[in-house]
Amino acid sequence: MIKYEIKGETLPVVICYPEQGETLCSENGAMSWMSPNMKMSTNAGGLGKALGRMISGESIFLNEFTPEGGAGMVAFASSFPGSILAYHVTPGNGIIVQKKGFLAMEKGLDLSNHFRKKVSAGFFGGEGFIMQKISGDGIAFIEIDGSCIEYELKAGESMILGTGYLAAMSESCTMEVEMQKGAKNVLFGGEGLFNTRVTGPGKIWVQSMPIVATAAAIAPYVASGKD
């Protein structure tokens, strides 16, 4: 397994130390610094996977980083104030992540689209109709907006989440959308029309500062540009 360490608090970075023969894959533009012996190559991994990443909002291409002549070092930084989750993916224990949540992973893991079974979950739930699934065997690094809080849900146990607060969940979990109850809650509650219900068994990772909530909070203070 590739050695790594996560540094930083508000703007974290994961620093990886691959041995010769080990390769890391990352989203386009995620690399922050690396040792001189790291060789970078870019590929799409096949037309189907490239189109799938484009549909999910990711770059068509993935960058691969492999050390030459011995061990190397490569760092991947978060693109938004928050956290980095290191998750050991194993066969049958994949992870479903929010769109644009993928940061980097060991080569050999599979990054694919994960479609919500119910279209309404994507159109109204705020988590996206298309999420991403990482499967296989190895370490994956996930970007979290704000702080990360982890919960373990038993079979049949649920958690209700506001729009955008679901960062990731075990592939064994299910997700559906529920409309807010009560006319006053809908009109004056300020929580939106819909919530997301995630049901176990499995783990969920909740983020404290979704980028959509951050954008809404600062919007009133941003100049409109009009005279």
Q: Specify the CATH number for the domain of residue 85.
A: 3.60.160.10
pLDDT score of 29: 87
What pLDDT is stored for residue 170 in this prediction?
Answer: 97
pLDDT value of position 49: 54
pLDDT at res. 123: 47
pLDDT tens column, 164-189 = 899 999 999 998 877 665 444 444 44
**Is 213 a member of any domain?**
no
Number of domains in the chain: 1
190 lies in a domain? no
Any domain includes 123: yes
Q: Could you tell me if residue 226 is inside a domain?
A: no
Quote the tokens at residue 220: 């009133």
Residue 52: which residues within 8 A CB-CB, separation 6 or more?
112, 113
Say if residue 193's pLDDT is above 70. Answer: no
Closest CA to 210 of 157, 153, 165, 143: 165
In a domain, 111, yes or no: yes
Q: Within a domain: residue 10?
A: yes
Residue 113 lies in a domain: yes
pLDDT (0 to 100) of residue 12: 96
- Rounded to an integer, what distance in angstroms lies between the CA atom of residue 108 and that of residue 95? 15
Q: Domain range holding 19?
A: 3-146
Q: Looking at the domain assignment, is residue 118 inside a domain?
A: yes
Task: Let me know: does 134 contact 70? Beta carbons within 8 Å.
Answer: no
**Partner residues linked to 132 by β-bridges:** 97, 113
Tell me the torsion sign for CA atoms 140, 59, 101, 48: negative
DSSP conformation class of 163 = T
Candidate from 30-39, 120-129, 197-206, 216-225 with smallest mean pLDDT: 120-129
